[in-house]
Chain A
């Protein structure tokens, strides 16, 4: 989303490689500064807000206030803010940052959860990208038809429905109709079943959550495909192709679609932050032990190191994503370099 902020107006007489390199370095430096500001802001917001990490259970009548004081001291909670920031960064970079909640190192913790979220993210992305194109193209070719109008309406309905409302409806109907488990990453107690059964079981548990989290994506992307197609179909070169007497299918799928697809290439970069953004809501509903739930539980427990680190990684991925997208854009669209 940072496209357009970075100057592409490079001197066309010097070597293109050098141009590109200079651009990349400047761009990266800018992003590093941004990242620093983001981390300082996040740190300040989290620490200034009221509420302290509490790993102590006060309904336990045997806990003394001295213990709470000791815990606070151990986590540097009474040091000045900038020192806390330094401690955080130092520990993060040396890989020794520990969670307040269970004293476990933060990075491996996030990595584990990331691996859990990954299949969900990949499946959802596959669904979004395979479903949106046929749906969108079809709607564009039949602009104004019943199909077009009903998919438009459906797309808006999918964007408008509260995700957890719809998910619970689907979960309950599936369980009611078929009586199979749908929550979590797999059915428990399958560890000793044949590998094929286990694999299929895992796949089944991906189906509903990934469809649920893909719905909004499908709605938006198919609408976008449709409008891109409409734009391209009206373009002169497509009319020329038609005028040449080419078959309609060839015109649409070879000439029009190729060009309509161009901007989508850059979107791959922007997928990156989705890797960690995950979805708090869907992971909570489906008891999916991914990054979203890690973040949610960290928020509940005021586990500052985990909250801040997830935030930072998300920022890194956002920046990396836009960077990639800028590069891809430049690579795909020659006009940008000629500007």
Chain B
């Protein structure tokens, strides 16, 4: 019977066809056999896909990984987290200072101050006897500027009834000013010129006569705000970057200072909604001195500023208004779409062009991003000819693919690392990164307002046990707000010891005593709160359960819940509507903690969602921003570390190690052509030497 035969043959054929394909697939051992090119490809695996391949727009780790290969910044951080020149060969830090000439003031000898007399006095006192080349004296120039009219928007606090603050534009009629050009930043410059201008110079400044605005606005501007609008001395730190010559974007266009200025403008352009505006908000202007020299002027003292220039540089010729206009034309967009068209909508974000060591080739969403080596790279082409970023959403499948050789590197989970540790078949790299995990208490809640309560909660948790059993040793204890691998961190701060008895005693001191069921009670109130975190992070989930269990043992009732990321942020973290959260920060290498710890940053959606307020910490945070001397800055950060550690607004848990496992056939090529083992990493970035990696066809012995 034909039909019968067909019915039997069809499934057999299908199954046979499917099964035979197995024989064509390479195993780890044979991966280069039918396909020698495999050795020149590098395959990295990641849990998530990139979102947007534009350095000024991306905000996720996957995108920054790719962007870091395709683009380059003026600077980057080296293996010791020190700044290093990339697109800029070198840079200079300087300062312009503007002094308002006070017509009402008098010199100490009683003679009245005129712009000219002040200028002469300053010149003779400050410039006398020093040559321009003397490095100990930073002052390079002193000159007089004519009066100037300027418009400025100020925030005016609303009336008692309305309460809303509003932005108002006012007109400032500036008096003559004296400009000082300095070759380095001198934050205490006012103290240096104090002997010349006299003690009362600042108090007699007739600021209100220089502001013209409607009467009711004038009345709303108080003294402090006036002083802020018209500081007697305006510090304008400057950075001068000298750019590398002859660097080309992947499309052949040469990189120059226009691109640097364009990148800055693009970040600040409100249409682009760049998440990096706050880094560049203190910038006053970016000026092109010549094709290869750029000067950045800052509005005020802000020492972390230079770190922001690790920001990768965009090609102006592909993204300026003209280029975007051409793109709209080419894509034939409707007028509605044209009205909102901007850099965010450009195809550039899915096919970026930069100056980095790898050239973008292809992006298949949720599957892979493919790059190829930039043969024209200024530091020499990378060893690998192709780079794949492969998306595998599950750690278990990542491991499976890694073991079959279909992935060269991935970031394993702690429990997987424990197995790789005893496995000689792979290389493994671990180092501290700039992040840490914590339990954050809502310091606004009455329950947590006493610092002893927070200390007791910290004492009840055995962090070492978490590190040992949950993280398999893939973390280090941390005690304060700075990344542990930076110099800002104070290694002398002792971690809070695990001491449940001590915690109980400390709580008893404040009046928390156990009731019949063993739960702590004070004035008939149970010690009960909710601990929440986001869904999808195994370790955080474990920490939540462990903390709950640890607190239960000292009589604290803790309820736990996991929320989906978006809900977690929107409903709990942003409005500050939570008791305690388990979260982590991934920080920059600079010491600026303003956004996370300053008391002004506790509003809706701001990052000090724990509501931490300490005048002492506030003062230190601001001082660190204005300190340009690294040594003194370090003293300040360590003091801040101790203040915050003592207050325990968080229970600082651990700084996880960034760990990668890597195919053992991959080695590093030395400049002389020999190869050696890939060196251990210090900064947390295993890819620091990536351009020199190569895969061999056999496992090397060292």
Query: Which residues of A are in contact with B by a Cβ distance under 8 Å?
Result: 50-65, 67-68, 70-71, 74, 90, 94, 96, 98, 101-104, 109, 112-113, 116, 123, 126-127, 130-131, 133-134, 137, 168, 171-172, 175, 178-185, 187-194, 196-197, 200-201, 203-204, 206-207, 210-211, 249-250, 253-254, 257, 284-287, 289, 293-294, 297, 300-302
Contact = CB atoms under 8 A, between A and B. Distances in A.
Given A59-B584, A61-B607, A103 B345 contact: yes
A191 B595 CA distance: 47
28 contacts: A51-B566, A54-B569, A61-B596, A65-B574, A65-B603, A68-B605, A70-B273, A123-B18, A130-B11, A131-B11, A168-B396, A171-B397, A172-B400, A180-B404, A187-B406, A188-B368, A188-B390, A188-B407, A189-B37, A189-B38, A189-B41, A189-B43, A189-B406, A197-B34, A201-B24, A289-B391, A293-B393, A300-B566
Contact of A181 (B38, B51, B401, B583): B401
Contacts of B275: 56-57, 60, 62-63, 67
Binding site of B, secondary structure by majority: helix, strand, loop or mixed?
mixed
Given A188-B388, A287-B394, A257 B3 contact: yes
A50 B51 contact: no
B587 interface: yes
Contacts of B406: 181, 183-184, 187-189
Contacts of A112: 364-365
Nearest to B53: A102
A65 B606 contact: yes
Given A172-B400, A188-B368, 16 more contacts: A54-B565, A61-B587, A62-B279, A65-B604, A70-B270, A126-B14, A127-B11, A183-B401, A189-B388, A192-B35, A194-B34, A197-B24, A197-B35, A206-B18, A207-B18, A287-B397
Interface string B381-406: 00000101011111011001101111
Interface of B: 1, 3-4, 7-8, 10-11, 14, 17-29, 31, 34-35, 37-38, 41, 43, 49, 51-52, 59-60, 270, 273-279, 333-334, 336-337, 340, 344-345, 349-350, 364-368, 386, 388, 390-394, 396-397, 400-401, 403-407, 564-567, 569-571, 573-574, 583-588, 595-596, 603-607
Most buried by A among B20, B273, B569: B273
Nearest to A190: B35
Q: 8 smallest A-B Cβ distances: which pairs?
A: A200-B24, A65-B605, A181-B406, A289-B366, A289-B367, A204-B21, A192-B37, A203-B21
B128 to A, nearest CB: 45
Nearest to A286: B397
A292 to B, nearest CB: 10
Contact of A200 (B21, B277, B573): B21
Contact of A184 (B3, B336, B390, B569): B390
A191 B393 CA distance: 22
Contact of A57 (B21, B49, B59): B59
By CB atoms of chain B within 10 A, which of A137, A179, A188 has the most? Answer: A188
A51 B571 CA distance: 8
Contacts of A207: 18-19, 21-22
A192 B388 CA distance: 14
Nearest to A116: B367
A78 to B, nearest CB: 14
A259 to B, nearest CB: 13
B34 A193 contact: yes
A287 B391 contact: yes
Nearest to A129: B10
A207 to B, nearest CB: 5
Contact of A287 (B37, B392, B606): B392
B25 A200 contact: yes
A102 B604 contact: no
B365 A113 contact: yes
Contacts of A98: 345
A300 B564 contact: yes
B30 to A, nearest CB: 9
B404 A179 contact: yes
A194 to B, nearest CB: 7
B10 A289 contact: no
A134 B404 contact: no
B400 A171 contact: yes
Contacts of B596: 61
Nearest to B595: A61
A102 B24 contact: no
A95 B101 CA distance: 61
B394 A285 contact: yes
A63 B273 CA distance: 11
Contacts of A53: 566
Given A62-B275, A293-B366, A188 B43 contact: yes
Contacts of B333: 96
A310 B605 CA distance: 31
Interface centre among A137, A181, A196 (most CB of B within 10 A): A181
Contacts of A300: 564-566
Contacts of A68: 605
A285 B25 CA distance: 20
